[in-house]
Structure 1
Amino acid sequence: MSKNVRVRFAPSPTGPLHIGGVRTALFNYLFAKKHNGEFVLRIEDTDQNRYVDGAENYIVEALNWCGIPFDEGPGKNEKFGPYRQSERKHLYRKYADELVSNGKAYYAFDTADQLDAHRKDHEAQGKTFIYNWHNREKGRLVNSLVLSEEETKAKLESGEDYVIRFKSPQDQTLQLKDIVRGDITIDTNVLDDKVLFKSDGMPTYHLANIVDDHLMEISHVIRGEEWLPSLALHQLLYNAFEWEAPQFAHLPLILKPTGKGKLSKRDGDKLGFPVFPLQWEDPQTQSISRGYKEDGYFPEAVVNFLAFLGWNPGTEQELFSLKELVNAFDINKVNKAGARFDPDKTKWFNHHYMQEQLDLDLANTFKANRTELSEIDTNYVALVIGLVKERATFINDFWDLSHYFFMSPEVYDEKASKKAIKEDTFEILQTVINIVTSTREFTVQNLQSKIKGWITDNGIGFGKVMMPLRLALVGALQGPDVFEIMFMIGKNETVKRIDALIKHFN
């Protein structure tokens, strides 16, 4: 690419960052790194009524946790700063006025009540009210296109509320290009005259977006499908300013796991999965929304499954490190169709990344979450995790899979007991105790050799020995290799547990 690649992620700080927003940030990050470009964070806070305290920090923390930090943005490499639109509002008025003076925009003084009356009048006639070429100069609407210069000036000087609207062209065919969608043709007659600037001194998203992208030298705008209807207006604004437009790519929607429509928090609540990267506490209601981090997902797993929501490398490979994703990512392989979210697939990714973690790191995290383990040696916990993590998807799974390594069974599974306990079980287990006690080198290999040798020599069914032995050690018929468990808990504890089972059932 001849032009320096500069992409931006431009969320609004109106609440927690949805996983769809993280996917947009990820694709921008991957594209930037693929082409040795810059990934810019811009906070689009022009709508101050919806601003939520803490939301901006949440966005930054979420990107950092995912391992996709911005290169340039608030407080970091601010060569095109400031990066909060509320701190740039002095810039936008100049560009709005430029459009008015060039005849590309105009002042509109219509009140909310007047516009509402027009809408209701159209609805009564079975029509839809659109403020554009077909009515803006007919006299029923109040704007600078029908008012004289003196009347317009008087209204402005009197402090009357107004907005600045873009003057959409009439009878033109707009040819647009989108990297994902291909060629798009728009009849400008169907476009409304969008508000660009409000009387409160703040621009709307459309004007601020275009001005900032131009001033920050953004080369590619990679954003969600929901912005596709705005593409025509944004291209027209670039044309009106006589600026070179960036290349556009509109990413597909992330769809519900079942049914139709866009993935929402309600879907997560209903099916038991988070839709936010980090836990969020609403500052007004104090309600808590779950996050992938707090639910035990690894950031590498989240990034991996998000990459596949709308993109495909064209190979059979599914597991990618972030570096591999950067190398493989091709914006031209992003799909047009919506990507269905699969909660089970996200768990599959997390299970894989669980296996790649160091046992000692997992042990430290596991211990931090369980007070029962505070006095247990971390190295021992790490050894236990090495035996059970293949069956775990989350760190929270470890306790159910391994609690018997840390404490004796207090109860015995009823169904397992009926299956394992027979008339000769206690006599058999007493012999096992004798073998365990007499084993000097208490190793997995020695235990396995001696007990299995005795079983074979005496023609006993393996199940008659191994099932009640496992029940004694675990309290249920589950867990890793019996001899591994015996070795880990030690000779004295092994004898103690077998004896406890004999006394319990005899």
Structure 2
Amino acid sequence: MLRFAPSPTGDMHIGDLRTALFNYIVSKQRNEDFIVRIEDIEKEKNVEGKDEEILALLSLFGIEYSQVIYQSENVRFHSAMALQLIHDKKAFSCFCSHEWLEKKREEAKENKKAYSYDDACRNLPDELVLDNMNPFTIRLSRPDKAIVINDLIKGEVSFEPDAVDSFIIMDQDKTPTYNFACAVDDMLSDISLVIRSQEHMSDTPKQDHVRTSLGYEKKVEYAHLPIILNDTFSVKWLLEEGFLPAAISNYLISIANETPQEIFDVKDAIEWFSLEKISKSPARFSIELLREINKKHLKNMDATELSRYVGFADANIGELAKVYLEEASTTKELKSKIEAIFAAKEIPEEFTEVAQIMAKTIKNAPYFQEYDDFKKYIMKESTLKDENFSKALHFLLTGAGNGPDIALVYKYLKNYIREIIK
């Protein structure tokens, strides 16, 4: 079983989507189920509707999952596991106040030492614990030896006991902390491999320690992805800007990775993707590289399908949109080009007179299959022969003074001339 575990606290970013894609791909390769776990325990941070938005985005990108689990529904299990750890003397009640702990952190900072909890409450006698009416947290006793993680990307990574610390597993309000809830949930779902960002590397030994302390014998595998530098783009924004889901997936799978081809879809990636081929070093997200990949996906798209992105259902308009890929790279940019063709034209003053004569002639012209015949007719009937002819015609047909070859534009617009010349 593999899982994607987003928090419904904001927009999904490209790093989140990459994690979801990799988990989905590997689940298909291993023929294991893939689930989505919404980590919603911190209620005050949740944004209403973000869970549904996340699931909708996964569906849009073709990421199929067998089940959706809300972490908040597992709180009773988290509490039961915490009680078991206390019963087994592997966890303890900690009465240290936030102010006291903050003072200890400041002292460590002043002494230029890494802070770790001093286990002040670890060995309190039972009677002192029972008689103490102050608020308390529950801490898991630090491990006795180093925890070694065999990461599928990073290799073997060792964590000393102080790096794990006697960390809090239940807050004073009896809410489970992130690492404890995550470890227990992975147990409950029988997760076999966790693929996530390198930012979570320090969480891994703590989660491993939770499971070991609970007597869980299965060793969960890990693969920590190198971070994406410049990860400031939300998936929602990229889609609104006109980047295709297929192109976004293509690029995210390619980042810091060896791929047998430049342009591919997720189904292709399932055939050759390998975690071991991912670079150990961070990679920078490039919007320009994404533009180039998006442009190539648009070129490969069925013309009628592409036309729908610009407001039509006509293969000719789709082919015309592909012509504009010389100067545009997203569906949003293509739509603005096509809309300009059918909108009222603003003709520069120097071309106004020529354009008015030309427009009148075109409105009375018969249908012409070929551009050359169309042009000859307009020139003959209007007697326009000066150097402004081509420029004025370009403005009339496209709304711009330059751009694609007007003969090529006419090829795809000839059935719409009456709508364009108003």
Which of the five TM-score ranges fits, normalised by the shorter chain? 0.7 to 0.9
1:443 deviates by 2.5
Residue 44 of structure 1 contacts residue 85 of structure 1 at CA under 8 Å; is this kept in 2?
yes
Which residue does the alignment assign to 2:278?
334
CA distance in 2, matches of 1:152, 1:65: 53
Q: 1:241 to 1:491 in 2, by over 3 A?
A: closer
Which residue does the alignment assign to 1:165?
139
What is the correspondence of 1:123-272 to structure 2 with a 5 Å cutoff? 123-131=109-117, 135-136=118-119, 141=120, 143=121, 145-155=122-132, 158=133, 160-170=134-144, 172-243=145-216, 244-256=218-230, 263-264=231-232
Residue 311 of structure 1 contacts residue 333 of structure 1 at CA under 8 Å; is this kept in 2?
yes
* 1:406 has 2:342 as partner: yes
Q: Deviations over 1:228-254 (max 9, x none)?
A: 012222222222222212101101100
Which residue does the alignment assign to 2:75?
89
1:124 deviates by 4.4
Residue 409 of structure 1 contacts residue 472 of structure 1 at CA under 8 Å; is this kept in 2?
no
CA distance in 1, matches of 2:387, 2:280: 55
1:213 deviates by 0.6
Which residue does the alignment assign to 2:86?
100
Q: Deviations over 1:343-396 (max 9, x none)?
A: 10111111112122333333333228xxxxxxxx95764564355455431223
Q: 1:448 to 1:161 in 2, by over 3 A?
A: same
CA distance in 2, matches of 1:307, 1:384: 30
Which residue does the alignment assign to 2:290?
346
What is the correspondence of 1:478-489 to structure 2 with a 5 Å cutoff? 478-486=402-410
SS in 1 for 2:38: coil
Kindly provide the amino acid, as one letter, of the partner of residue 161 in structure 1: P
Alignment equivalent of 1:473, drawn from 374, 393, 398: 393
SS in 1 for 2:67: coil
Residue 19 of structure 2 contacts residue 195 of structure 2 at CA under 8 Å; is this kept in 1?
yes
TM-score by length of 2: 0.84
Which residue does the alignment assign to 1:25?
20
Which one has the largest radius of gyration? 1
Which moves more between the two structures, 318-327 or 304-313? 304-313
CA distance in 1, matches of 2:224, 2:177: 20
Which residue does the alignment assign to 1:320?
264
SS in 1 for 2:311: helix
Residue 448 of structure 1 contacts residue 483 of structure 1 at CA under 8 Å; is this kept in 2?
no
Q: Deviations over 1:192-224 (max 9, x none)?
A: 211011232221111111111111011101111
SS in 2 for 1:222: strand
- Say how many residue pairs are matched: 407
* 1:302 has 2:288 as partner: no
CA distance in 1, matches of 2:238, 2:290: 10
Residue 61 of structure 2 contacts residue 249 of structure 2 at CA under 8 Å; is this kept in 1?
yes
SS in 1 for 2:139: strand
Q: Deviations over 1:375-429 (max 9, x none)?
A: xx95764564355455431223235544675367541497xx7xxxxxxxx9xx9
Kindly provide the amino acid, as one letter, of the partner of residue 2 in structure 2: V
Which residue does the alignment assign to 1:267?
none
Fraction of identical pairs, as percent: 25
Kindly provide the amino acid, as one letter, of the partner of residue 288 in structure 2: D
Tell me the C-alpha RMSD between the 2 structures. Answer: 3.5
TM-score by length of 1: 0.71
Q: Deviations over 1:132-160 (max 9, x none)?
A: xxx32xxxx3x2x33211121222xx4x3
SS in 2 for 1:42: strand
Q: 1:487 to 1:45 in 2, by over 3 A?
A: closer
Kindly provide the amino acid, as one letter, of the partner of residue 250 in structure 1: H
SS in 2 for 1:245: coil
Kindly provide the amino acid, as one letter, of the partner of residue 307 in structure 1: I
Q: 1:400 to 1:45 in 2, by over 3 A?
A: closer
CA distance in 2, matches of 1:212, 1:179: 22
Q: Deviations over 1:259-306 (max 9, x none)?
A: xxxx23xxxxxxxxxx1112xxxxxxxxxxxx1221111111111111
Residue 442 of structure 1 contacts residue 491 of structure 1 at CA under 8 Å; is this kept in 2?
no
Gap regions ≥5 residues in structure 2? none
What is the correspondence of 1:13-92 to structure 2 with a 5 Å cutoff? 13-73=8-68, 83-92=69-78
1:107 deviates by 1.0
Which residue does the alignment assign to 1:111?
97
CA distance in 2, matches of 1:169, 1:30: 34
Which residue does the alignment assign to 2:234?
276
Gap regions ≥5 residues in structure 1? 1-5, 74-82, 257-262, 265-274, 279-290, 369-376, 418-425, 455-463, 498-506
CA distance in 2, matches of 1:491, 1:309: 43
1:58 deviates by 1.5
Q: Which has the higher contact order (CA 8 A, sep 6+)?
A: 2
Q: 1:391 to 1:466 in 2, by over 3 A?
A: farther
CA distance in 1, matches of 2:155, 2:96: 38
